[in-house]
Structure formats: C-alpha cells, structure tokens
Amino acid sequence: MPREFFGRKKRLPVLFGFWLGLAAGVASAEDAVCLSEDLTVRRLEPDVYLVVHAFPWPANALFVLMPDSDAVLVDTPYTDEATERLIAWIREELGELRIRAINTHFHRDNLGGNGALIRRGIPVYGSDRTARLLEERSDVTLHLLTDPGQARYLEALRNSPLTPPDRLFGIREGLLWRFGDDSVSVFYPGPGHSEDNVVVYFSGKRILFGGCLVKSLASRNPGFTGDADMEAWPGSLRNLLDRCPRARVVIPGHGEPGDLSLVRHTLGLAEIVWPAVH
C-alpha cells in the first residue's frame, strides 16, 4: 500500500487553514481521516502523521515513517482501545512496519495506550523519571473529569489502566536512534509542564515534538500546572531553542502545530504573562 494512500475511513471537512501559511508545505485537511468520533489522523507531509485524540481534551501524538520500514510513534492516545484502533489503521494503510514508541512524560495523554502497544510487541521507551512519577502519582486526568457530561470518559479511563514504558533510559542521557542517514534524538531540556517532559527531534525532517512543554499559538494559559515547575519552564524553553535552532515544524502537546514561533510564544507567556497571574 503506498504511503500516500488514505483509505476507507471518513474524511474530515477542511478546517485547518492555519497550515496553508506554513513554509513547511504540509498537506491540506483532505489528508485527514476519522478513525472514530474522537480519534483523527492527519497527514502533515509525506511520511508524517499527526494523531489527535479528543478524550475529552484534544491531545497530539505523532507518527513518522523512517527509512527501511521503521517508524516512530511519539506519545499515544488516551486509551488502549484508541491506540489499538490507531495501530490497526497504520498496518492496514501503511503496511507492516517496525514501530517503536516514546512517552514524553507521565500523564495519561502521553502514555494511556502503552498497554496496547506492549501487547502487540511494540517497544515503548520512557525515561526512568517518567516511570517513577507514574508509579508515585495518581492518574490526574481522572480528577479533572468532574462535569457530569464527562461521565463516559471517566468510565472509559477507569477501565483503561496505565502501563509504564518497558524500555527505560536515563533522562539526562536521553536517546539517539539512527535510521540509515537519518536520526531521532530524545532529550530533556529541563522541567516545565512536568518534571520529566522530554522532547523528540527528527533531524532529517527538522520536526520537533515539543509536547506539553510547548503551547500552541492559540494558548494563553499554562493548562494543568499541578505537576509543573513554573520557575524552571522559561529556562527549559531557552535550552530547547538552543538545541533545535533549525526546527522547521514544531508540534505542541495540544493544539495546532507551527514553527519555532510556538516555542518563542510559550517563552513569552512563561516569562511575562503567567507570573503576572499566578
């Protein structure tokens, strides 16, 4: 099956005009498909797919095809069920691939589907700190679902227990994966949204998955701060800019992708706006 093929799932209406202005030249929303009412896959450019699971809050994951039938999944949907659906779609539409996954921190919107991946024999990498925090702290998402209208989400998440990554690495050491002449680096710029937020940089494609350390341009507040280090957040963003000055596309944990302006936008919020209101 060619990588450009999008099959029989329901296509989304054109809602993503933001991307039309990006120099990255990504594809339009005609390349987006709904795998369920709350799970969407959108091709950003050849071999690069944004996965959005709104359960109930939209959260981003990223699937990237690498040389020689390898692939990297950054973060997972909220649940094992949604992750099973995603992997089934990948294998149906993109073929059999050697997939490895990475969790960028310990919250459910980053690793809620680990159980499904591990059962399928897909290795899931996470830092030693992510594994420790997952063991020590409760599933915060459950405590945030207080609206009676969110009852179905609460029930589903209670029935989808969290599973830690099964391949641990030292957070300070990070990871470097090589795929032919291409490489992917996982590194820790410092605390911010959480103590363990790592980022993933695809050097050949110049794509940076900033995760929840980076806010979308539409964001004005820091979101959930129960595990955040607000004082360290600006310095971690500066480290990120120093480490990835040539990043072409930046993926935040929630909201629309963009370029390095997302990191600078978040830095401005962290330095000026958030301290004034907290």
Domains located in the chain, CATH noted? 10-277 (3.60.15.10)
The Cα–Cα gap between 163 and 147 comes to: 26
Q: Name the token pair of 87.
A: 């992997």
Highest mean pLDDT among 11-15, 223-227, 235-239: 235-239
Does the pTM surpass 0.85? The reply is yes
118-175 pLDDT per residue, tens: 999 999 999 999 999 999 998 999 999 999 999 999 999 999 999 999 999 999 999 9
Amino acid at 243: R
Q: Name the token pair of 176.
A: 């470097």
Q: Of 187, 274, 271, 275, which Cα lies nearest the Cα of 235?
A: 271
Highest mean pLDDT among 15-24, 30-39, 95-104: 95-104
17-27 pLDDT per residue, tens: 434 344 334 44
